[in-house]
Amino acid sequence: MSDHSQAPEAQSATANAAVDPVTLAVLKGRLEQIADEMDATLYRSAFNPIIAEAHDACHGLYDAQSGDTLVQGKSGLPIFVGVMAFAVKAARAVADSRGGMKPGDTWLFNDPYEGGTHANDFKLVRPYFKDGELYCYLASAAHWHDVGGAVPGNYNPQATECWQEAVQIPPVRIIQGDVLQEDVLAILKANSRLPDSLWGDLNAQLAALDLGVKRLDGLLEEYEPALILSVMKELRQRALKLMQAHIKALPDGEYSFEDWLDNDGVQDQPLGIHLKMTVQGERLSLDFSQSAKQCAGPVNISKATAVAACYVALKHLFPDVPANAGVLDAVDFVIPDGLVISAQRPRPVGGYTETILRMIDVIFSAAAKAHPQLALAHAYGTINALSLSGYRSDEGRKGERWVMFSFFGGGHGGHSEGDGLSHGNAPISTATIPPLEILEAAYPVRFTQWALREDSAGQGQYRGGLGAVYEIELLEQHAQAFLFGERARFAPKGIAGGQDGAKNLFEYENNHEWHTPSMGSKMLGIELQKGERLRLQTPGGGGYGNPKDRSPALIQADQAGGYVRTVVKGGAA
């Protein structure tokens, strides 16, 4: 067992010493394993299918001084890597005003303006102390099922201020001196339509943090604490060096691209996301200053969320770079306040997923101008957040509230090495689409279709992936439905001569007639009676390259599989 009694100056010397490659690799794996086990603990314990099945959550270790990301689990959502650094800083700032971080405390909040994303994502921050000194933070983020607001599930497409979306919880101690604060818990449960689900998810996050502390205790019994700090520092430096190398390989210059959101759900006007990407030596500048101003509806995002979206896009482009704050150390951001991607309270931000997907698209497309091998056509570009809710009418459960919230897949973009993925999840995450068996078992619905969407892929030398068709029948007497989606007006773009993917199409049934929302893919308060259906046809990915250059063998396979009915003639011999 290691001796931890060395003097501070000796520990400092150890921290500054070079770490040999074998030790670095071993300890990198051990640190990632801590975060991975925290992820697994939450997934197995949570009540809410969005966490338990879809894995809409994340855990990691964060720097004691800066709050920056040190280590993240491999199965957690990448978007949380960036925003959790902001969340840790926000919790620390409040703690400093109330006597500082203390052993035995765990801070909780859902503030999307300081901690990023939206109010469904609750962040828990726990300081970790070693020998009486703050050593690092452990943190957990997870999407809670329902936290108040005007719409069950909280994706309110017509919200014009944050209080219409969800209850707003600033950083507070949910655990103080190792004691659960029942007053805080009571407030949380009183502001949810599903208090039992909330309590289960909170317990699961606390259990994940408990396990993280236990595993970190064990690691620091085996290795010097200063050595572990050296490893964390070295991993960040390696991420920076790899990013600098990737940036330096790009030609110096300015590369611009613009794409559009359909509307904000309140005003039916498109909103531009404009990027000017500048490469200069080993540094990269991402200038979004020409993007649309913050808007009335809930497609706004905070600056913390915007920076996190850039992190995700860069990790897609350069997947060999370690997942820590070093990814962003070579990047400069130009994001003035008051834009749709830097909105300020109380502008609504509930639909943040749609906007960060568009940010990722424009980064991909600007990077493709700099280096054709990075070319990637646009993915389907919307999670299609769908909520159904009502009250049970069956005996034994009569009057019980139910809320089904889920997101859905679509096609990914074609690229220089092949076709895009069909029916994949959004590139903001490693989450999975909740299985229909789980949704049907938990809620009074039946899926009458769950299939690939024919002819939805953008054609090209390499076509995009196919979108999907989901048709849902209500089995209860009555329910309301709400949809928050995108890409109904602006299709996923092809690249290098490839064609665009199909647009999003949502329909709902009333009195044996099918209707579509006036806002395209956003609608509030759809009234459904037993036997009526919703149908969601999600976009396909854009194509890559001239469709006439597609090989006859691939064309034949597409037609035999029923993926494509009509093809561009003149495929390659």
Q: 492: closest CA among 158, 324, 262, 241?
A: 262
Q: Which long-range contacts (CB under 8 A, 24 or more apart) does 434-438 make?
A: 434/49, 434/50, 434/53, 434/54, 434/406, 434/407, 435/53, 438/49, 438/53
- What pLDDT shows up at residue 396? 85
Q: 79: closest CA among 437, 431, 442?
A: 431
- What pLDDT shows up at residue 432? 79
pTM: 0.92
Give the bridge partners for 122, in sequence order: 142
pLDDT tens by residue, 417-471? 999 999 999 887 667 788 999 999 999 999 999 999 999 999 999 999 999 999 9
Confidence of residue 17 (pLDDT cuts 50, 70, 90): low
H helix runs in 17-62, sequence order: 21-45, 49-52
Give me 258's structure tokens: 């613009």
Confidence of residue 493 (pLDDT cuts 50, 70, 90): very high
- What pLDDT shows up at residue 352? 95
pLDDT tens by residue, 113-169? 988 899 999 999 999 999 999 999 999 999 999 999 999 999 899 999 999 999 999
Give the bridge partners for 446, in sequence order: 473
- What pLDDT shows up at residue 569? 62
Residue 558: which region, alpha, beta or left (left: phi > 0; alpha: psi -120 to 50)? alpha
Residue 250 burial by Cβ neighbours in a 10 Å radius (0-12, 13-18, 19+):
middle
| CB-facing half-sphere around the CA of 179: CA atoms within 13 A | 5
Confidence of residue 7 (pLDDT cuts 50, 70, 90): very low
Find the helix or strand (DSSP H, E) in which 10 lies.
helix 8-16
pLDDT tens by residue, 240-268? 999 999 999 999 999 999 999 999 999 99
Cα–Cα distance, 352 to 508 (Å, whole number) = 24
